[in-house]
Amino acid sequence: GENVEQHPSTLSVQEGDSAVIKCTYSDSASNYFPWYKQELGKRPQLIIDIRSNVGEKKDQRIAVTLNKTAKHFSLHITETQPEDSAVYFCAARLSGGSQGNLIFGKGTKLSVKP
Amino acid sequence: DTGVSQDPRHKITKRGQNVTFRCDPISEHNRLYWYRQTLGQGPEFLTYFQNEAQLEKSRLLSDRFSAERPKGSFSTLEIQRTEQGDSAMYLCASSSRFGGLSAEAFFGQGTRLTVV
């Protein structure tokens, strides 16, 4: 089955710096890759996603890149702010059949220091 | 509130007891998922419904776990003979039939289960 590896597990940056979180997936049939942000005690919330037919997607300070050949995708946050501090999860979803579930990485705890 | 709602928010139970959780998805979302999340880990997939049909079950879902979605709307997750290892946050999510398999999954606040 699908397996998603996420690195680093913790990341500390200074306010204004960029943060990059990387994920790799194992099943080349995966075709959808969302990123979720989870603040302490709250539900995971989608911040950006990308489909396998796209190489890059950007939304203001957040961007995601996908390399299908290497089976990895990355989250880039620029001009980080203290409110970006949270745990970020990448995920992958297989295409085809009745597959509907998301396989999540173990998460990256991002701390943005003012 | 038009989001995914889960009930109860917290449940403390004694080992060996049965517990049942409820999830109300966003109205008209035909896909519903159950996940389990333990501290410091990402959500782990348990099961997936499309309308009332349970299409996928994880190997994590032992015989003690059962999920239903009888009318294709709300869903229940039951754990029988709870064990301390069942202590976790149980998250429900739903997504629309529009957008195919890349439709966004919206999560509920979760039910935190503590087995003592």
Q: Strand A86-94 relative to strand A30-38: parallel, antiparallel, unpaired?
A: antiparallel
Find all residues with CB under 8 Å of B76, minimum gap 6, and list them.
B20, B21, B22, B23, B67, B68, B69
Q: Tell me which chain B residues have a C-beta less than 8 angstroms from the C-beta of A43.
A: 91, 107-110
Residue A28, pLDDT > 90, answer: no
Using the beta-carbon criterion (under 8 Å), do B48 and A100 form an inter-chain contact? yes
Q: Which of B41, B55, B104 sits opposite A46 (nearest CB)?
A: B104
pLDDT for the residue numbered A76: 98
Count of positions (residues) in chain A: 114
Using the beta-carbon criterion (under 8 Å), do B104 and A6 form an inter-chain contact? no
Express each pLDDT in A40-83 by its tens digit.
989 999 999 998 888 999 999 999 999 999 999 999 999 999 99
Task: Give the residue carrying structure tokens 């991002």.
Answer: A110
Residue A22, pLDDT > 60, answer: yes
Chain B interface mutation, best of A101, A106, A108, highest count of B Cβ atoms under 10 Å: A101
- What is the band of A23 on the pLDDT scale with cuts at 50, 70, 90? very high
Express each pLDDT in B24-77 by its tens digit.
999 989 999 999 999 889 999 999 999 999 988 888 788 999 999 998 899 999
Find all residues with CB under 8 Å of A1, minimum gap 6, and list them.
A27, A103
Q: Tell me which chain B residues have a C-beta less than 8 angstroms from the C-beta of A44.
A: 43, 91, 107
Beta bridge partners of B68: B76
Mean pLDDT, chain A, as a whole number?
92
Find all residues with CB under 8 Å of B65, minimum gap 6, and list them.
B46, B77, B78, B79, B80
Express each pLDDT in B79-105 by its tens digit.
999 999 999 999 999 988 776 666 788
**Interchain CB contacts (distance < 8 Å): A and B:** 65
Residue A99, pLDDT > 70, answer: no
- What is the band of A12 on the pLDDT scale with cuts at 50, 70, 90? very high
Q: Which of B91, B101, B106 sits opposite A93 (nearest CB)?
A: B101
Residue A27: Cβ-neighbour burial (10 angstroms; 0-12, 13-18, 19+): middle
Q: Is B86 helix (H, G, I), strand (E, B) or coil?
A: helix
Percent of chain A with pLDDT over 90: 77
Using the beta-carbon criterion (under 8 Å), do A32 and B101 form an inter-chain contact? yes
- What is the band of A100 on the pLDDT scale with cuts at 50, 70, 90? low
- Mean pLDDT score, A12-21: 98
Q: Tell me which chain B residues have a C-beta less than 8 angstroms from the C-beta of A31.
A: 101-102
Find all residues with CB under 8 Å of B104, minimum gap 6, and list them.
A34, A46, A49, B95, B96
Using the beta-carbon criterion (under 8 Å), do A101 and B91 form an inter-chain contact? no
Residue B32: Cβ-neighbour burial (10 angstroms; 0-12, 13-18, 19+): buried
Residue A110, pLDDT > 80, answer: yes
Measured distance CA(B93)–CA(B97) in Å, rounded = 13
A53 shares contact with chain B (CB less than 8 Å):
no
